[in-house]
Amino acid sequence: MIDKNELLAKVSDTSTESEYFSPIPKGYVKGKTKYVIVMGTVMSGLGKGIFSSCLAKLMQDKGLKVTPIKLEGYLNIDSGTLNPFRHGEVFVLDDGMETDMDLGTYERMLDQNLSKDNFSTSGQIYRSILDKERHGDYLGRDVQMIPHVTGEVKYRLRTLAHKTQSDIVFVEIGGTVGDLENAFYIEAMRELAYEEGPNSCCFVALTYILEPKILGEQKSKAAQLGIKQLMQSGIQPDIIACRAANEVNEKARQKISVFSNVPISRVVSLADSASIYQIPAMLRECGMDFEVLRLLHIEDRIDLRKERQQWATWCDFTDKMGKEKYDITIGITGKYTSVRDSYASIINALEHSGIALGCRVKISWIDTSEITDKNVGEHLKDVDGIIVPGGFGTRGTEGKISCIKHARLNNIPFLGICLGFQMAVIEFARNVCGLKKANSTEIEPECTQAVIDILPEQKKIEKLGGNMRLGGHDIEIKTDSIAFKLFGHHETIRMRFRHRYEVDPKYIETLENGGLIFSGKAPNQPIMQILELSGHPYFMATQSHPCLTSRPMRPQPMFTGLVAAARSAKYPDQKIPQFLQAVEIACK
């Protein structure tokens, strides 16, 4: 039983005698941590996460401690059940939290491992409030959107700020200002700025400038109306970032400046860029970083020497872009190929490895739904390597198996990820080990030769998603394997997982006798996690999702190996190191 006096001491401002409700974590100091709040107008998908992460990187380079948080309006508790066609890929954090793909952008740009504290949905907010109401935490008050829901949002931001001891928390609100589900987030931000005091919050409105071809000029009216809606919510934007296909002209910026009371120096143009890694330079050139410092009054916290060092390192990386000596094509053979965001982390991982190895990596999108053993050669004739990515369900799986078989028999560099690992096991079992009916119980529940199955201990967990292996796990690496060399001779590595099905242990010996090498496994468990073939230019697969931990200046070794092998295969006459040597050079 909760003692009432103890509860009152814990949340002293929840009393029925006061209209103030703003629970604050113990030890939190108002005004110490600053907040940059990024919101969108006109339409979603403008790149709020990209803008926010790039601005956060500039602050980080100056020696400031930054941390991001994404606030999503949907009622799902996490992103794990969302269809990739609707929201792009599900990004899995090391602690197992399934999140929006923007968390991947933050991790890559800031080179940080984030946690569940950096992601919140309306579903999480409401569940927390209802749990507290059932426990009597609100002392008999009627629970309302204001102040209780907004108070919960502020509490989460302040808890994150205090836990990380950040100088700046970057808050990204998903969707747009006009979305009904975002109304309480926006109100919470208004209250936060009021409570934290002057110079505590910097509001950034990301908008879009239309340029209809039929008119031949840029139109800012939609942007003006979106900003007006934000101002009607009680928030005066400090910075307006104008997204557009082309550079936003002075006339359009002037109109927005006059309409929004924002100085034109803080109405900036952000035209489309070939790579997100060029955007920090765009923001730096227009002085966005120092505008934020001045608005938040934290110029005295920066370390200019560190900034020079960090920026020089970043420029060394970006200077390699556009100067690649080699062109290779990697085929991504999946079933979500019509929505590129479904494979955002894979695209980034290939870009990281390509830049490190001087390769311009082109991607050929190959839908496996119609691929068979008879036509697979035609579909793969122009690729230098293939990736068979993850996915759920049965559609396109036989096409993936055909692609893997073709790559194995024709010495095409191959990387399998998650489901791609499972399909590689099935292909090898069928065509090398003679298990003609080999399959996965996910695809064929009554399969008589289920080389891929849910392990017995997982079957005991019945709740949807509960039997999924999620987040970061250690992998033991065989010392006499290609994987051991790829990962810098480390006997234990860590990668992230998101799957239910495994190689059935009773088939491991048969597969290994056939020549399949399981070079990585779970510590103290018969769970196979990396496979490879000897005598092949590059045939690797993993049950994990290695793309989730690839970073711009630290490319993921399995992707670097694929790119290096594809480069060596396409340019055999060039004086290029063997792919393992190339990986070692790239991953230093």
Using one digit for the tens of pLDDT, what is the confidence trace for 27-67?
Answer: 999 999 999 999 999 888 888 999 999 999 999 999 999 99
3-state secondary structure of 360: strand
Confidence band (pLDDT; 50, 70, 90) for 487?
Answer: very high
Averaged pLDDT score across all residues of the chain: 90
Residue 463's pLDDT is 44
Pick the closest to residue 392 from 499, 262, 478, 303 (CA basis).
499
Sheet holding 492-499, edge to edge: 359-367, 326-334, 385-388, 414-417, 539-542, 528-532, 517-521, 469-477, 492-499
pLDDT in tens, 209-236: 998 888 888 999 999 999 999 999 999 9
What pLDDT sits at residue 17? 60
Q: Is residue 518 exposed (0-12), middle (13-18) or buried (19+ Cβ within 10 Å)?
A: buried
Average pLDDT (452-461) is 69
Q: How far is CA 469 from CA 75, 321, 540, 544, in A?
A: 23, 36, 21, 10
Backbone angles phi, psi at 396, to 5 degrees: 80, 0
Pick the closest to residue 173 from 147, 152, 193, 203 (CA basis).
203
Contact in structure between 330 and 562 (CB atoms under 8 Å): yes
Give the pLDDT confidence score for residue 575 in this predicted structure: 60
pLDDT tens-digit series, residues 260-296 = 999 999 999 999 988 999 999 999 999 999 999 999 9
Task: Evaluate whether 118 touches 160 at the Cβ level (below 8 Å).
Answer: yes
Looking at residue 2, its pLDDT comes to 43
Does residue 472 contact residue 95 with C-beta atoms inside 8 Å?
A: yes
- Closest by CA to 345, choosing from 417, 272, 245, 421, is 417
Residue 11: pLDDT over 50: no
What tokens does 373 get?
A: 């053993």
Mean pLDDT of 345-371: 94
Angle at 370 between CA 366 and CA 374, to 5 degrees: 100
Average pLDDT in the 244-260 region?
93
For the chain, the 3-state helix, strand and coil shares in percent, each to the nearest 5, are 40, 20, 40
What percent of the chain is predicted at pLDDT more than 70?
Answer: 91
What pLDDT is attached to residue 48?
93
Strands 528-532 and 539-542: antiparallel
Nearest Cα to 168, choosing from 258, 36, 71?
36
Q: Extract the tokens encoding 169.
A: 């928390």
Instruction: Look up residue 430 and give its two tokens.
Output: 């069928």
List Cα–Cα distances, 272 to 44, 107, 332, in angstroms. 15, 22, 25
How many Cα atoms sit within 13 Å of 272 on the Cβ side? 7
Residue 139 has pLDDT above 90, yes or no: no
Using an 8 Å Cβ cutoff, are 287 and 281 in contact? no
d(CA 261, CA 164): 34
Number of Cβ within 10 Å of residue 372's Cβ equals 12
Flag whether pLDDT at 461 surpasses 60. no
pLDDT at 81: 85
pLDDT at 195 over 50: yes
> Mind listing the domains of the chain with CATH numbers?
21-316 (3.40.50.300), 326-586 (3.40.50.880)
